Amino acid sequence: MKFIQAISVALVILGNTSGEAKKISAKEVILKSIEAVGGKAACKRFESAHAVGELKMFADDKIIAVHFESWCVPPLLLRREFTKEEFGKQVKSIYVLNKDNAWYKHGKNPTIPITGSDFERYKSTCADILFLSLYRIVEDEQFKICLLDSVLKNDEQCYQVLVRRDGNSDKTLCFSMKTYLLTSDSEVKKINGSDQNEKVEVVFSEYRKFGDKMIPCKTIQYTDSKKVAVCKLKSITPIEKPDDNLFKKPE
């Protein structure tokens, strides 16, 4: 009987030890994810980048196909060009953010300023690019992180990390338990010009290596669980020295 009890105790101890070994902190998950994509230096290098790809937007039972180019130099320089067919012709829309100013030009129409909540949205786009470098989350005191229960996402078990940010809504990041790659991020945002909220989720997949960094080539955005956009990245190149002309008011 004593021998059986001793074996039982030993198994409990071994079981607890095994359980302890499997524990991981939110910070460790993020650090492992940074290493999985190529390390901090690679993340920093791709914060300023020129990207080219294809975008499909879903609205009112219609699919709008768009070719895009984007130049981003955080924290406050951004240019995006979207080209799509209108009445049988290819028409380009240009959005530019330059520090305290932003503009929009569609086709041959006059350039107009971007203000109010739209201006803040473009500023937050740059902020999100810095945020998704991930290393800032574990280095900047404005971010508070904690590990939530694991979740099954797209048939893959994932870690969930809740990130609280000063002056911003909370984000929930999901990381693959196998690869530590970021698989999705989600947050609840206020609808522009409204007191109502909406849940926005972006799903990342099809990781591919560009230079020394692994980058997701496919992103799908959902708003309140409804698919609203699919983005396919074709190329991305770090911007070593930005061209100031790119971020001038479009004429």
Instruction: Compute mean pLDDT per 10 residues along the chain, 251 residues long, and list them.
Output: 40 38 84 98 96 94 93 95 93 96 96 92 87 93 94 91 89 97 92 79 97 97 94 97 94 90
The H or E element containing residue 221 is: strand 213-223
The reported pLDDT for the residue numbered 18 is: 36
In angstroms, the CA 86 to CA 66 distance is 11
Residue-wise pLDDT for 15-36, tens only, equals 443 343 358 999 999 999 999 9
Cα–Cα distance for residue pair 238/144, rounded to 1 Å: 29
pLDDT number for residue 28: 97
Residue 193 has what pLDDT?
A: 63
pLDDT of residue 8: 42
pTM (predicted TM-score): 0.85
Write the pLDDT tens digit of every residue in 128-174: 888 999 999 999 999 999 999 999 988 899 999 999 988 788 999 99
> Could you give the CA distance from residue 230 to residue 58 in angstroms, rounded to a whole number?
9
**DSSP-based three-state secondary structure for 125:** helix
